[in-house]
Amino acid sequence: MPTTIITGASSGLGAEMARQFAARGWDLGLAARRLDRLEELRDEIVERTGRRVEIRALDVTDDDAVFATFRDLREAFGTIDRVVVNAGLGKGAPLGTGRYDANRQTAMVNFVAALAQTEAAMEVFRDQKRGHLVMISSVSAMRGMRKTVTTYSATKAGVAALAEGLRNEMLGEPDLDIRVSVIYPGYIRSEMNERVSHTPFIVDTETGVAAMVEAIEKEKAHALVPPWPWVPLGKAMRHLPLPVVRKIM
């Protein structure tokens, strides 16, 4: 059976992706720090769908653990068809306000740990000569954002560039069937933003993740989701003057 690995799968978008991929017939390898949450999610998915679900406790900032976990899941399943690099952190503070610790933690989780996960996934895919790497970015990656989102948006732009560089490389590797997708979610209700009450265009978790899963299943190179309003807004954000972007976002 086809297998998808999802990091950061214990809550929010990762947990809902697991539910929806299982409903589509995928076996799952789920990794996150909170093993108790993963156990509950595994039991729920197995009861609903009967799919195979392997769970692993993982702190994605532990490089050695990332590689060991991916290798372990590859051994458990035999083959890994897709890896979704989803684990992320939303904390941050305006630069220069004394909260370097928060911004550094976001950078380490969202970019450096994503690099480790990408390395581990590509190690498996190169050996298999095939696979689908999915990077979860954000619409905030379209332009530099202000205040508490500055570092977050920079990390999400970084992982998108990392994925595009890989896609560029794979174009010159005809013997490798490795596809690379970057998903740019708009505002989707999740544990990360549950305390934010006045976010424009926000959709519920199930609706937003359904759009993410649909784009991933189509193996799109890049997708802003949900398409409305984020496809037109994303294009506008890339090209409008920064003072105008500031008013939109």
Q: Exactly one of 100, 152, 184, 187 is catalytic; which is it?
A: 152
Q: How far apart are CA 88 and CA 69, in angstroms?
A: 17
Q: Is 152 an active-site residue?
A: yes
Strand, coil or helix: 201:
coil
Extended strands (E) in the chain: 3-7, 27-32, 53-57, 82-85, 130-136, 177-185, 222-225
Q: Go through the chain and tell me how many residues it has.
A: 249
Helix axes 12-23, 35-49, angle to 10 degrees: 20
The rounded Cα 173 to chain-centroid distance in angstroms is 25
What are the catalytic residues? 152
